[in-house]
Amino acid sequence: MDESPHRHMHRIYTRRGDTGATATRGRARVSKDDPRVASYGTLYELNAHVGLALAALRAAPPKDVGPEWALLEAGLEQIQHRLFHVGRDLSRSRGVDGGEEPSTLAEHVTRLEALLDVLAAKTPPWKPFTLPGGAVPASHLFVATTVCRRAEREIVALRRSSPVPESVLSWVNRLSDLLFVAGRYVNGVSGCEEPQLTDPADGF
């Protein structure tokens, strides 16, 4: 008897989520709109935007750019990995479903701050108020910033009813700062002038 070529492939669909429920890392079944699921789901969305920004950075590096550009690329790649660990910390944080110590620690927050300081030193002073835009990689970073801030709001909301490791919230908060500064850094080294806010009476 001929075997199907797909017989030994891992199935993507399980049908277990068709009722609108999903399993946490502790195997508890919860609704897919549960605040905990929403928060780490937004982190996955953020990861996709960080990946898009990283692809744009690698596709269009400026000429004669300093070492900070390579540091940013490497940092974003590491951030993509860390986002999965942060999501895991949220899906089964200490005191939840039997809980465990978070893998996201204060030292990871410090690493974000170190990269942020390096980029900020090479970024022109901010002139309020600028519009998100400019170079394509910068625009992707600004979108990632907004998604990160939404994730932070969802984690804060989750914390009202469930335990959330303090280091997780600090890391996400610092990441939003880093992504914003990274967008401005990219515009600066790319020679892209940041769009400035104008009076609505002057346009639409």
Q: How far is 116 from 180, CA to CA, in rounded Å?
A: 9
The three-class DSSP label of residue 1 is: coil
Q: Is pTM, for the whole model, over 0.95?
A: no
Range of the domain at 118: 32-191
In a domain, 106, yes or no: yes
Q: How far is 197 from 133, CA to CA, in rounded Å?
A: 12
Note down pLDDT in tens along the chain; length 204 residues: 444 444 545 665 555 544 454 445 554 555 555 767 788 889 999 999 999 999 999 998 998 889 999 999 999 999 999 999 999 888 874 444 455 788 999 999 999 999 999 999 999 888 878 889 999 999 999 999 999 999 999 999 999 888 888 999 999 999 999 999 999 999 999 998 888 888 776 666
Q: What CATH number should be reported for the domain holding residue 163?
A: 1.20.1200.10
Total count of domains within the chain: 1
Tell me the helix, strand and coil percentages in the chain, rounded to 5: 55, 5, 40
In a domain, 44, yes or no: yes
Q: Are 158 and 78 in contact (CB under 8 A)?
A: no
Q: Are 182 and 84 in contact (CB under 8 A)?
A: no
In a domain, 24, yes or no: no
Non-local CB neighbours of 12 within 8 Å, separated by 6+ positions:
none
Q: What is the DSSP letter of 30?
A: E
